[in-house]
Amino acid sequence: MNGQVQSSRERLDGFSSDTTMDLFRMFGTDRVPAIPISDAEIPLDDSVPTEVDSKVKTKLLSMWNNVKYGWTMKMKANFSKESPVWLLGQCYLKKSEDPLESASEALEPVGTGSQVSLAMDATNFENTIEEFKRDFASRLWLTYRREFPILNGSTFTTDCGWGCMLRSGQMMLAQALVCHFLGREWRWRSEQPIETVQQMRDDHNHRMIIKWFADQSKPESPFSIHRLVSLGASTGKRAGDWYGPNSVAHLLCQAVERTNELPNSKLSRLAVYVAQDCAVYMQDVEDACRTPDGGWKSLILLVPLMLGTDKLNPVYAPCVTSLLTLDACIGVIGGRPRHSLYFIGYQDDKLIHLDPHYCQETVDVSKENFPLISFHCTSPRKMLLSKMDPSCCVGFYFPNRESLAEFMETIQRFVIPSNQKADYPMFLFCEGSRKDLQQGIEVDECLLASTSSFDDHETLEDDLCECEKFELLQ
């Protein structure tokens, strides 16, 4: 079967447009796919010929991507029964007759940043692999879509081949919103009929969150790919351009801020803060979370990181997995080079992720009781931690000020590699605001300029500017 698939794909470049259209009709179905054939992205030419040529090119790319990401074959990730599985702060173990044995199994793969209480919680013998599957299937899965309304300023009706990082960012934000409106313990049970008031409320919030990410430019979808691409245009990005984790983090922050400006916003009690140069400035967090009446908003904290140069520095591998054991963690967006993934857990040396590289039909969320199945994945996938791209962004959700304070007290042990002679944390918390720090540097530079004999000198502020690849250790 694998040989036939490879042989077929090698001949695609020689197909006529009619043959390609036939393939599109054959494989562009509504079924929920499992695994894409290829991990490679289709590079997009930046040149813009005539409008007609652009439309033809976009249509051909769309047909190719519908074949590439719609034609799938069954593959299944294997999970060891001997090792615990971690998923966004939840530990899942095989059942054991010996509680101490289960506790030691939970502690072993977590690394130096683990908390004993997390492992002991796992010894209740209720968190089985079946519970893990139900938890995994409850995470919102946002993938490539086709035949959605044209993106403003382009001819694109699909994000196949270029929108995977945006989709990964959407999934991380969606997880934060699930925690905010439904709670981390919420589970989606597609086979369960809605009978109670609480189930009706949960179904309403579930659909409300999905609508916010629907593939349309309407105001009721403030986190759609249309809205994110529109926000990206202010920084020179166009539909079809590649986005890095840092860029996506700032787009998500802007999207939430814009939504909060609307009257009667349901997100008025939610703030987003993006760390700058791997530093979280507490005065800036205070300004973002403090409400006019003296209250405190829930916080989504996004921390862009660069954990190496060309590949992940192995000293940070235990830190990455340890972060995924925290209840506050909402995952990591990153992946392999030019191939974004949303990491939400791990087992042993492999990361568990949701993959956005599936082309599905756009869902009309305006219909009552629109289908939900394409927004949930039932097939967990794993990737070796060593293959993770060093450029990533880790996210956290804090429902209140107390949870943030508790996090700050314990996080140091999670973000400092255990085998380092000096302390080089993945990120840190700082007093004051970033603006005050920049102003202080500007004052120092003025003093330096008045005593310097050089006409031209590099400003220190340039070192503080936002960098897509801020590196920690080499």
Q: Which residues are identified as catalytic?
A: 164, 355, 357
Q: Report the C-alpha gap between 334 and 459 in whole angstroms.
A: 31
The b-or-e profile of 187-206 (16+ CB within 10 A means b, else e) is ebeeeeeeeeeeeeebeebb
Which residues, including other chains, have CB under 8 Å from residue 358's CB and lie 6 or more apart? 32, 33, 36, 69, 70, 72, 143, 144
Contact 431, 437 (CB under 8 A): no
Secondary structure (DSSP) of 240-293: T----HHHHHHHHHHHHHHHHTSTT-TTTTEEEEE-BTTEEEHHHHHHHHB-TT
- Beta-sheet pairing, 270-274 with 279-281: unpaired
Q: What are phi and psi of 396, to 5 degrees?
A: -140, 150
Which residues, including other chains, have CB under 8 Å from residue 334's CB and lie 6 or more apart? 168, 245, 340, 341, 343, 388, 389, 391, 392, 393
Paired tokens of 16: 């006529």
Contact 96, 125 (CB under 8 A): yes
If you ran DSSP here, which 8-state letter would residue 419 be given? T
Task: Return contacts of 462-465, CB within 8 angstroms, 24+ apart.
Answer: 464/276, 464/277, 464/434, 464/437, 464/438
Which residues, including other chains, have CB under 8 Å from residue 258's CB and lie 6 or more apart? 222, 231
Contact 30, 359 (CB under 8 A): no
Q: Any idea which residue has 């590699």 for tokens?
A: 417
Crossing angle (nearest 10°) for helices 245-260 and 164-181: 50
If you ran DSSP here, which 8-state letter would residue 195 be given? -
